[in-house]
Chains A and B, each alone.
Chain A
Amino acid sequence: AQSVSQHNHHVILSEAASLELGCNYSYGGTVNLFWYVQYPGQHLQLLLKYFSGDPLVKGIKGFEAEFIKSKFSFNLRKPSVQWSDTAEYFCAVPSNDYKLSFGAGTTVTVRA
């Protein structure tokens, strides 16, 4: 079964700083990859997804993620964060066609 690890439990940074959140998965075959975000008090939202093609994926709100097959990684990046990016971020990988395996999540706090 797939397992997903997120390296950082809590990240604190200032506005305009760059953000990179690590995500590694265990399975080496064909893989789909997701990043979800949960803003305070809100539901989980899909930030971006990778199925195939260009390994650099653009998502909503200026986020992007890069799939590096050789490193089993799918790190999330944003060049310049805003206070409104304060949220919890989850990396997820399907274990099969439908069962998503989530990382433990990274809480990002952006200080104004």
Chain B
Amino acid sequence: NAGVMQNPRHLVRRRGQEARLRCSPMKGHSHVYWYRQLPEEGLKFMVYLQKENIIDESGMPKERFSAEFPKEGPSILRIQQVVRGDSAAYFCASSPPAGPETQYFGPGTRLLVL
């Protein structure tokens, strides 16, 4: 069984560019979550999605950040016009419909903004 897949694993962007982070959930999982880990901090919830629906985006910054989970294909976290403060590790997790409280995490994408 393949676990949660994320790509790229490392991403370098210059200020003002766009960053696209991809997440493929585990087989059979229809719930996807994005978390951000800033240096020296724990993971912070960003957004919870089901196929074609955003369920909870209370942890997303109000501007420049968006997320989607289309009917086909991976979930995408998109950061427009990146700034240095966006440098962090972004983790995706997935869970089965019956057990959202138990989440399985991907390897993360380390974003570095120069």
Instruction: Tell me the A residues contacting B by CB distance below 8 Å.
Output: 4, 6, 32, 34, 36, 42-46, 49, 90, 92, 94-95, 97-105
Contact = CB atoms under 8 A, between A and B. Distances in A.
B103 interface: yes
Contacts of A4: 42
A92 to B, nearest CB: 8
Contacts of A105: 42
Interface stretch (B14-22, B43-51, B61-69, B71-79): B43-51
A104 B102 contact: no
Given A4-B42, A32-B101, A43-B4, A99 B48 contact: yes
Interface of B: 3-4, 31, 33, 35, 40-45, 48, 55-56, 58-59, 91, 93, 95, 100-108
A36 B105 contact: yes
Contact of B91 (A44, A95, A99, A103): A44
Nearest to B44: A102
Given A43-B3, A104-B41, A99 B105 contact: no
26 contacts: A4-B42, A6-B42, A32-B101, A43-B3, A43-B4, A43-B107, A43-B108, A44-B43, A44-B91, A44-B105, A44-B108, A46-B102, A49-B102, A90-B42, A94-B101, A98-B31, A98-B95, A98-B100, A99-B45, A99-B56, A99-B59, A100-B33, A100-B35, A100-B43, A102-B35, A102-B42
A44 B48 CA distance: 18
B60 to A, nearest CB: 12
Nearest to A34: B102
Nearest to B56: A99
Interface centre among B101, B102, B106 (most CB of A within 10 A): B101
B45 A100 contact: yes
Contact of B56 (A45, A98, A101): A98
Given A36-B105, A45-B105, A97 B45 contact: no
Nearest to A98: B100
A36 B108 CA distance: 14
B31 to A, nearest CB: 7
Contacts of B33: 98, 100
